[in-house]
A and B are shown apart, each in its own frame.
Chain A
Amino acid sequence: MAGTSGYGKFTHAVVRGIPDSFGKSKATGSDGEEVDLAKAQRQYGVYTGILRQKLGLQLIEIPADSTLPESWRVEDTAIIQGDTALITQPWDKDRRRETEAVRKVLEELKLRVVDGADDESATLDGSDVLFTGREFFVGLSSWTNHKGAELVADTFRDFAVSTVPVSGAAHLKSFCSMGGPDTIVTGSSEGAKQALKAMEQLTDHHYEILTVPDDAAANCIYIRVGSNNNYLLHGSTEEYPESAAAFQKLTDYTLLPTSCSETSKLGGTLSSCSLLINRRLDL
């Protein structure tokens, strides 16, 4: 069933701890910026605490693996919609091993796990995939290519899968995310505008657009609890004062400022640190 009018409903969250090797990956985009491992782990703790306690999600934490310095970015490893999970094929071959543990977890959750990695030339990072509840947008970025996008289309056949060019060193979700069932939060950079324009061109639906000054702040996590309790994790006021103010426009929302300053130095985002799953136990 294609449409999910109830976008934002989640029952589980898969996360992975910050390894000691945090920040020691060659592939990260940090410009020699010093990362504070301890702080990162503290922020991770707060983050998981919010997911578990504030949002009531069942948290599945995969132990950190120091041999996989970027494994905390679990979002890149799988794309989950409904009961189906697509194991991705990260562009960085060093990261492909990250999917193994994630796959196990997903299989344990009895999701239909689809392994898209039968074509070596296909690259797909989960953070390039935006699921709006109605359709998929796959950013064609430095990490995700056309064939990778095809994996998404082949796996989630009910949905339109549109490709969106992403310029620069960014994933699609580096500057946009879902802020509600039909709301897209987007940044203000030129790249973000271009991508948004592309999405608006490609979609059959109408989305409300919430534009925030900072691209990074545009990545947030929307979760609906109960019938109509809207929660939004977004960047902290300290990091993005202007953007944080923009979220005040969202009425009937419980705003949960969450800091991820350390992971963001490595290209991480709020959403990149978890895989959200809506898995009803009865099925």
Chain B
Amino acid sequence: MMTTETGLESEVKKEPEQAEEQPAAPELQTQAQDEPATQQQVHPKQEHTEAEKPEELTDNKETLQSTTGEQPSGEEHTDTPTSPKPASPSAQTSPGLGKKEKEEASGKGISRFLPPWLKKQKSQSQVESKESLGIGDPVKEEGDVQEKKSEKEEKREQGGEDGIDKPPEVQRSLPQDSKADEKEEKHSISSAETQPAKETRKDSLEKDVDLKEEKNGAGEEIQKKIKEEENVQKPELKAEKPPGKPSKKMKTVVCKVMMLEGMEFPCEVEKRAKGQVLFNKVCENINLLEKDYFGLTYRSNSDQKNWLDPAKEIKRQIRSSPWQFAFSVKFYPPDPSQLTEDITRYYLCLQLRQDIASGRLPCSFVTHALLGSYCLQAELGDYDPEEHRVGYISDFQFAPTQTKELEEKVVELHKTHRGLTPAQADAQFLENAKKLSMYGVDLHHAKDLERVDIMLGVCANGLLIYKDRLRINRFAWPKILKISYKRSNFYIKIRPGETEQFESTIGFKLLNHRAAKRLWKVCVEHHTFFRLVSPEQPPKAKFLTLGSKFRYSGRTQSQTRQASTLIDRPAPYFERTSSKRVSGSLDGAPVVRVTDHNLVDSSAAEINGKGDTAAKDNGKEPGTPSRTQLELSQESKVVEQQSDGTTAAATGAETSEMEREEEDSQLQKDLDKTQEGVLKHQASISELKRSFMESSPEPRPNQWEKRLTTTLPLLTQGSLEEEITTILLSKESFSNCLTGTFTTTAKRAAEGAGAKAPAESLSPFPSTRPSETLDEKQKSEMGEEAEVEIEETVIEEIRRTSKVKNSPDTTESPAAAIMSGEGEKEPEEEASKASTSSESHSESEDEAEYHPQVAVDQIREETEENDEELGKECQVPAEQQLEEIVLPPPPEVQGIADEEKQECKHLGEDEARSSPAERKTEQEAEKAEEPKVNGEVSHSVPEVIPQVICCSEPPVVKTEMMTISDTSAAQKTEISTKEVPIVHTETKTITYEAAQLDGSGDGEPGILMSAQTITSESLCTTTTTHITKSVKGGLSETRIEKRIIITGDADIDHDQALAQAIKEAKEQHPDMSVTRVVVHKETELAEDGED
């Protein structure tokens, strides 16, 4: 793959110039909007109108379904119905057209993007809207739903199988609000947006109210939602059923999924469908509810087994590989007896039989015999001497090498199991299998730094190191501070022991960077699933760092366990397929049935009685929504994340995290680790502090350690540790700060809102405004913003939140949102354009970091310390910080990261872009959207415009955070100081103030203005814009650094790309000068397989 990295640095004295820049951008945006609108509504305005509608719909749904759970699990639905033209609109907001949009529409996506507080607000706002609209009345809701149905049908007809559940009518009815909310959210997220004060005001005001309301009435709301959901679902179900299969318009692909029974399940999905869609269909097919333990794998070109990320488009993951997948267990439950349903255990058994027969799960002879005998009992029942004659078991495979002796032993043991039912036999099988030392251990080949071959085993408890089947070391999750990979190296940072002073980093060499990434992902997922109460948000995307933002977005074990308790269906009947013959045992015909066999899960869980109808509905919209309802709102959120999958990984993560934190509070009790986590957390802090203070922390291994490390040499951590340290600190501090800050910001926001009011008036209806109007509006807004400066910034943030929460004024808000978003985004768009022109497709994910414990600790602490709501809000900032911090490492161009791909998806790579203008529009749209959606990975971040920066600067917030830091404030502060300046891009906030406060803040705090990835068939271009603004005396100096990474399999015209980039940079910032251009070109042997 060829990679070209172009870095443009231009330093200019900036002052309020931002306003100027922005104006230009709007035009571009408008253009883009228009084009997309025609087809996909990619553009902001159109999007608002259309997209927002869907979103609104989703919102409504959410509200209806579950207040807390805001987001229905609609992801699936959205996913399934591929957006008409996937393309570009990647724009998060793009309505139902884009898959992404759909997802968003489902509400999950949106919520994800929204910062936690926004979500809450949303929910509140939604609720409010409901109330205002009479939502409170079931009748009304139902009516809406029906309308939705009709609309849906229409959509289906139009867009094919979007499968968007969101009823158009609802959207329309609530469109303004929802739109506004969405937009607001996005904008707010985007940071640089200049939205009208109107929204802000309302929002800000409402926010406070909302929060209170939420707290008090959460339960009621949930109930209402549930009722509403039921109503909605029923109608939806009906509507959906008819269009069972994807619309003709949508391109569909038949996936072949190898089931654990050994048969192939053909499944038709939209070509742009996300992994979750396929996975849900598969689970529906086998009637599996407890599906969080399972996953789909595919073989990359290099024949490596990869897990299909449910949050990403299938196509982008498998690339050129055939659409063949295997359904398998991803997380082996340490105690299968805790699974709720026998059917789940059955599939676990099937997986284990495979594992054993293939030798993946080593067993002794005796164990082979015993497990084999349980298999026989489960499949054949009691031993019958007449029926079971010699050789009756020769068709079964119990071991990699099956001897006569073994078979005799199996038969001998089979005789002793008389009376065991199949379910009991399975249970016994699992009780014995779970004790195997390699049960649930995912092995990866690696070498230690001395080039000695070892195996890394990832399991529920941590990471195991093997050498020739001997365990030579073990790192429990609590001991691991950070997991990262760089190129083909995989690193874990170990918490120092009691007697040790420094943490150590241990490195392993994997076969290649894909293997390293694969291992890293597995670690991240296992850690999250088994150790965390709720998933961790993905790092905010779009930064300087191109590292993978991958995070596990599904439910954690504790969450899935809790969800399982809600399963209330009669034990589903399932036929046990004889392992010796391959036949379609399951009722489900191999045929693709989109709607027919829906997940019983959601329906069953949620509504016991709904039965088939519900199931059908689920088909379109994966049961998630229903589940959500049943479950607590928190869980629902989680579900949503999973289902949303599309953007989920990157984008959604943030929001999800936010929500998750709330969940955590509830769940925390259940987890035994809580205290542990806290302690560890503290420990880690002190450790960090230590390491931080010590310039060169070098671990001094004792003999034992030496031995261990000999194989795994300790790396001096230098920079890495520092990074980590900072991150940790910031996180800790953030929660506190957030709470404290939040109130203040809100107040300010409210104040600021008043000032901006005029802007609001400008933006009436977003739907069909000509681009010109938009521009004007934008300009007007821009001007205002420029004047306001610092305070504005604060206000803007507030706005975002408020917007989300208060959507009543939807009409106005959407427009405003658009306005602001466009104006700010334009610059970014330009940048992106440049990249677009190159049409490259890049995902540089050679590097990625993951701080396991931190997350856990933080979450817990936060929950404990802060109110749920506060925690949510707080989380956002924290995330931002984290991301930024992480970014530091120079981006590596090589890898094509999936995550980036996701981003690309938004852009709509798939479809050919006829004209540059379109591309631009798309990009713009994305950009515009991005701001709204905090979490979305793909979107480029806030633009470089100086204004934006000013606005976005949440210095206040950060500052507060600093101050707030509780306990180990001193320590935290010290460390955090440096890092604090880095605010999350999404937030758009860069705090100089914070740095100042600390006084120690060294580097200039930079703001990631944008990071976009544009993907075409063969190329991917990632543009990262980083703005650093420093105020010296009365002058402000702004430095903009753009990093453009072009990755692709095809040859790239680097010169052209560079020229284009420079040209665009100049155009974007006429008043700035290009001071440095760095071109880094990297060619790497192509490796297939994203992961």
Contact = CB atoms under 8 A, between A and B. Distances in A.
The answer to whether A and B assemble together is yes
Given A1-B432, A2-B432, A84 B703 contact: no
Interface string B333-377: 000000000000000000000000000001111110010000000
A83 interface: yes
Contacts of B432: 1-2
A162 B472 CA distance: 6
A1 B471 contact: no
Contact of B702 (A84, A135, A154, A194): A194
B471 A158 contact: no
B706 to A, nearest CB: 9
A161 interface: yes
Contact of A1 (B362, B370, B467, B704): B370
A150 B707 CA distance: 17
B435 A1 contact: yes
Contacts of B473: 201-202
A160 B703 contact: no
Interface in B437-451: 437
Interface residues of A, number: 32
B470 A157 contact: no
A165 B471 contact: no
A56 B704 CA distance: 40
B461 interface: yes
A201 B475 CA distance: 7
Contacts of A158: 362-364, 366-367, 435-437
A278 interface: no
B704 A112 contact: no
Contacts, number: 81
Contact of A202 (B362, B366, B467, B474): B474
Given A112-B366, A165-B704, A2 B471 contact: no
A116 B703 CA distance: 29
A36 B687 CA distance: 56
Contacts of B364: 82, 84, 155-158
Interface residues of B, number: 25
Contacts of A161: 437, 469-471
A2 B704 contact: no
B468 interface: yes
B655 to A, nearest CB: 35
A198 B704 contact: yes
A244 interface: no
Contacts of A99: none
Interface string A192-229: 00100110011110000000000000000000000000
A3 B364 CA distance: 12
B704 A197 contact: yes
A163 B472 contact: yes
B965 to A, nearest CB: 33
A202 B367 contact: no
Contacts of B471: 160-163, 202
Nearest to A165: B707
Nearest to B431: A1
A157 B362 contact: yes
A84 B702 CA distance: 36
A167 B362 CA distance: 31
A95 interface: no
A184 interface: no
Which residue, of A84, A157, A165, A167, has the highest number of chain B Cβ atoms within 10 A? A157
A176 B470 CA distance: 20
A84 B470 contact: no
A138 interface: yes
A27 B505 CA distance: 42
Contacts of B708: 201
Interface string A133-164: 00100100000001001100111111111110
B231 to A, nearest CB: 49
A240 B702 CA distance: 30
Interface string B964-993: 000000000000000000000000000000
B437 A2 contact: yes
Given A153-B468, A162-B471, A204-B461, A83 B704 contact: no
Contacts of A149: 470
Which residue, of B461, B702, B704, has the highest number of chain A Cβ atoms within 10 A? B704
Contacts of B702: 194
A255 B514 CA distance: 58
B703 A167 contact: yes
B470 A163 contact: yes
Given A82-B366, A84-B364, A201-B708, 9 more contacts: A2-B367, A153-B468, A154-B469, A155-B364, A157-B363, A158-B436, A162-B472, A163-B471, A163-B472
18 contacts: A1-B435, A2-B435, A2-B436, A2-B437, A3-B435, A84-B366, A146-B468, A149-B470, A150-B470, A156-B364, A158-B364, A158-B367, A158-B435, A160-B471, A167-B703, A194-B702, A201-B704, A204-B474
Interface of B: 362-367, 370, 432, 435-437, 461, 467-474, 702-704, 707-708
Closest 10 CB pairs of A and B: A2-B435, A160-B437, A157-B362, A162-B471, A153-B469, A3-B435, A1-B432, A198-B704, A158-B364, A157-B364
Interface of A: 1-3, 82-84, 112, 135, 138, 146, 149-150, 153-163, 165, 167, 194, 197-198, 201-204
